[in-house]
Amino acid sequence: MSIAHIFLDEFGTPELDTSKSGVTQYFVYVGVVIEENELTNAKNILNGIVNKFFGGTHIKSKNIGNDSKGHSVRMQILSELSKINHYAISLLVDKSKVDSIGLTYKKSFVKFFNNLLSQQIIDKYDEYHIHLDKLGWKPFQNELKDYMETKGHGRTLFSNNTFDLQDDITEEPLIQIADFYCGCIGRYYCGTFNKNQAEAVNNIIKSRLFLDWFPREFVNYFGASSYKSEDFNPLIAEIAVKSANHYLDIVDDEIGCEIVKLMLQETLINPFRFVSSNEIKKKIIAKGLKISDPITEISKIRDKGVLIVSPIGKKGYKLPSNEKEIAEFYDRLASNVIPQLKRGHILHRVLVEQSFSAHNILAKDSYDLLNSLINTVVNYRTTEE
């Protein structure tokens, strides 16, 4: 039976007028998810951090400076926290894009986003217990607790799930870990860290962090739809032809050179025609040469810098003759690569959530590049000026 404990805290204020002094652009919720059988270890790690860096009192992210000394402390704490099997879910609210009238009321704001973040863990565990740092006056705390229970985050005849507001010092110290994560994420996105600090913080937490935005903005990764013209572009064609000629000058690969010559030939005859894999294979064999899969050979040629495109929705290869053909090639690339990276993220998230990060494969150094690519795709969002 999987029992999860989610420790919630926040960064920033519900104030939406970011023009006011001290009001940050982003409001951050963080939930640190720890399996029940890992709680003892988590408490021991937390006590060690508190004794070492906070004089035996408690973690308070805002008390960690943004200078080099504070950055060193922050990185050491993150290193210590990595000894706990856990992961973090976070909701980053761009307050400049929150235009709902109802959310201008602080109570509604707090209720809405607490529920939105908490919905991420419903049905993922046999039982879960949410621990939120106390906020506001007692009447609002009771109001928030009642609201969250009506959203399915409370005990029923069929579940032992709970939602409680607790003091992070006297009642539930593990909330301090969420406070620390909030500080890291909030400062990162609010631009408090310098470039090197930001990269260092991101590199150490990215494999454990699952970040959502509000409002959610759907990104169109495919750019070709904006190009309507099939007109010949002499500059693009010239660049492509030069890349092919350069290959013929420096590469000693008979198969590759024959394919490039075929591409050049077709460009001079009909710059808009695509040459199929079957046609390439037949012409190479007709020259008495053996060829396996033309796709493999084309990949090798591209690795040498030859601009050969194979746009989405079309069969075959050619040297590009306009920007649209290049954009459509990136469409094909994006339609293959981006979904695979998203699938990798889904697999990673399920594994980390269900093992409470005990099996965090992407945290290994050997997967650093792959993890960075996955995070780039998953967290990518457009920014409206």
Largest CA distance in the chain: 86
239 and 309 Cβ atoms separated by less than 8 Å: no
The pLDDT of residue 381 is above 60: no
Task: Print the domain residue range for 241.
Answer: 232-321
- 18-27, 40-49, 189-198, 316-325 — which is least confidently predicted? 18-27
259 and 280 Cβ atoms separated by less than 8 Å: yes
Distance CA 88, CA 205 (A): 9
Is residue 100 very low, low, confident or very high in pLDDT (cuts 50, 70, 90)?
A: low
* Residue 148 sits in the same domain as residue 249: no
Average pLDDT of the segment spanning 59-72: 91
Give the pairing type, strands 26-35 and 209-214.
Answer: unpaired
**What pLDDT, on the 0 to 100 scale, is given for residue 103?**
55
Report residue 173: phi and psi, to 5°. Answer: -60, -25
In a domain, 31, yes or no: yes
Distance CA 371, CA 357 (A): 15
The pLDDT of residue 101 is above 70: no
In a domain, 246, yes or no: yes
* Residue 58 sits in the same domain as residue 160: yes
What percentage of the chain carries pLDDT values higher than 90? Answer: 34
Q: What is the CATH number of the domain that holds 300?
A: 1.10.10
The set of residues, in sequence order, having a beta carbon less than 8 Å from that of 255 and lying 6+ positions away, is 284, 289, 291, 297
pLDDT higher for 217 or 287? 287
Pair of tokens at residue 287: 């020259």
Whole-angstrom Cα Rg for the chain: 27
In a domain, 101, yes or no: yes
Pair of tokens at residue 268: 């001079």
Give the domain-ending residue among 216, 243, 267.
216
* Residue 153 sits in the same domain as residue 125: yes
**What pLDDT, on the 0 to 100 scale, is given for residue 344?**
92
Distance CA 230, CA 322 (A): 7
**What pLDDT, on the 0 to 100 scale, is given for residue 221?**
23
DSSP string of 21-61, one letter each residue: TT--SEEEEEEEEEEGGGHHHHHHHHHHHHHHHSTTS---G
The pLDDT of residue 63 is above 70: yes
The pLDDT of residue 247 is above 70: yes
* Residue 106 sits in the same domain as residue 246: no
* Residue 38 sits in the same domain as residue 183: yes
Predicted model pTM: 0.71
* Residue 195 sits in the same domain as residue 246: no
- 24-38, 53-67, 279-293 — which is least confidently predicted? 279-293
262 and 316 Cβ atoms separated by less than 8 Å: no
| Mean pLDDT, the chain, whole residue set | 82
Is residue 300 very low, low, confident or very high in pLDDT (cuts 50, 70, 90)?
A: very high
Is residue 140 very low, low, confident or very high in pLDDT (cuts 50, 70, 90)?
A: low
Q: What is the CATH number of the domain that holds 108?
A: 3.30.420.10
* Residue 76 sits in the same domain as residue 18: yes
* Residue 50 sits in the same domain as residue 152: yes
* Residue 253 sits in the same domain as residue 146: no
Number of domains in the chain: 2
In a domain, 226, yes or no: no
**What pLDDT, on the 0 to 100 scale, is given for residue 137?**
61
In a domain, 346, yes or no: no
The pLDDT of residue 369 is above 60: yes
**What pLDDT, on the 0 to 100 scale, is given for residue 334?**
87
**What pLDDT, on the 0 to 100 scale, is given for residue 108?**
66
Residue 331: count other Cβ atoms within 10 Å of its Cβ. Answer: 18
Quick: pLDDT tens for 189-235.
888 888 888 888 888 888 788 777 776 543 322 222 332 345 788 88
Is residue 107 very low, low, confident or very high in pLDDT (cuts 50, 70, 90)?
A: low
